Structure 1
Amino acid sequence: MVAVFGRRSTLAGQGGGTMTAAAARPSPGRNPRLAKIHIARKELGLDEATYRAILGRVTGQTSAAGLGDDQLDAVLDDFKAKGWKPRAIAGGKAAPRPAGARRPAADHPAAGKARALWISLHQLGAVHDPRETALEAFARRQLGVERLQWADQGLVYKLIEALKAMAERAGWSQDLAGVDPRDQVAVLRERLAAAITARLRSPRP
């Protein structure tokens, strides 16, 4: 490999520091790191644009080919933060997930909000299946990511807005203009109760 000098690439670090390409030196462990990145990308279901955006945000570059070991480690750490867990067994191969094992539900704040909306929409009759698997399937269609836990948080707003649009169509207003932030949750709950009551009272076709 030919080292490129005079060219700087930044790597976000703790405290807002940066790292130069010279500091991110390649090593014999480079190829295994690259392999892990490509495995993680596949398992996270990241499309090309999302993958490049993550590389750019974490390292300042949009291709893993020019990254040093420290930068590759930072990308892997970002993937792990999104829920990716490398599994290894003897021989260095990924261990298969036990048959029937349930994946943990997404636990970031945006996922919690999406889940609350999903369950509320089920109570309202706008969603037939309240299970986590159904929410994950809906999120997959909206975001193009295999699991909600792995979705870039900058994109999850699209899922939230789609759920709010469903609520509006079902008669549950999401307009909080002029409502004190401290009262917004209570207001939405009252509106949901009113919408459910109205639906129960309306004659069925």
Structure 2
Amino acid sequence: MLLDEMEARAQRQLDGMTVNRDAMARDVLDLVAAVRRARSAIADKLHREKPDASMGDFEAAFDSLFGDLFGAQAVTARASGRATATVSLDAVRQRKAELAQIHIARADLHLQEDEYRQLLLDVTGKTSSAELDAAGRRRLLAHFKACGWAPKHKPFSQAEKIEWFWRRLGQAGALRDPSAQGLIAFIGRTRGMEVSHPRFLPVRDASAVIEALKAWLKRASTTTEERA
């Protein structure tokens, strides 16, 4: 049964997972339990009202409520704005970044396909980087570094540029509040949007913030009268 598979998979994820993924797995288990209760309630109601109901009738009624339940779960998740959603997104970004580093390291170390697969198996017990959890990815990257590989310096990101200009303005005495919260407030006033970190800004808005900070820093080099 689909529910049995979902429940078993989520239960397996609970072992050895981080707090964030642990919470995600528990959400799945809660959902499975809710669906089981709903299925039982529908079966009881259907058999009371229609003793001769066929399995097809039962499945149709269950599928209808099952879809409604998932829709309600999605609406609730969007409306609640739970921190787990942001944390989950950060985890996805982190996984993509680490997998990218793994493939870059493999190329830099000139590992052939068979060599790479054997090394992967020896270090992590897996034969594909896609199967690695966070601990496995860190272990593999640490092994690459022990072999002499070093990640190349990445270019300044837009978020890093924004933070750099903000620090310079603080050093110039142009800011009333040079904290990270002060920067977030400035972004809110400048772009009319709420973000928890500059890295979540769309490219166009981040560029506008950079230009605003750049112009402010230029003025601050000659006067300290303007303050945030």
Q: TM-score, normalised by structure 2?
A: 0.32
* Higher normalized helix content (fraction of residues): 2
Greater RCO, CA 8 A, separation 6+: 1
Rg (Cα) greater in structure: 2
TM-score by length of 1: 0.36
